[in-house]
Amino acid sequence: MKYTEDHEWLRVEDDLVVVGITEHASTQLGDVVFVELPEEGTKVAKGDDAVVIESVKAASDILAPVDGEIVAVNEELVDKPALVNEDPLGAAWFFKMKVEDMEALDAFMDEDAYKELID
């Protein structure tokens, strides 16, 4: 798994990248009450807004970590946004994307570097 400075995690599954937020981000947000997902088929560039999350504390955008196309979204989060707090590293993934350049993932942090960032 790779991590961004924006507290997103990236997991490679076959030729796709699955994107979610870390437990640290979930805790900082507080209770998530709303998730707006992107449309499947949407092409995104690194840094584009991809997901909107609203919690009791704040609204936040999840950014596309790399260039690519959204090929699947986690519809379960629309009906059950609290899943982001319950299982941020597993069931609460936001979207899967087909990435233009998988080598772009090499620029992100591994788990040890991410732990250093949040300590």
Which tokens in the block code for residue 27? 């805790």
CATH number at residue 52: 2.40.50.100
Q: What is the pLDDT of residue 58?
A: 86
Q: How many domains does the chain contain in total?
A: 1
> What is the pLDDT at residue 119?
87
The verdict on pTM exceeding 0.85 is yes
Residue 10: predicted pLDDT? 97
C-alpha distance from residue 36 to each of 10, 62, 93, 99, 105 (Å)? 19, 10, 13, 21, 25
- Per the rule left: phi > 0, alpha: psi between -120 and 50, beta: everything else, 83 is alpha
Closest CA to 41 of 117, 89, 79, 98: 98
Q: What is the extent of the structural domain holding 43?
A: 2-118
The pLDDT score that the predictor gives to residue 83 is 96
10-residue stretch averages of pLDDT, the chain, 119 residues long: 95 96 93 96 96 92 96 96 95 96 94 93
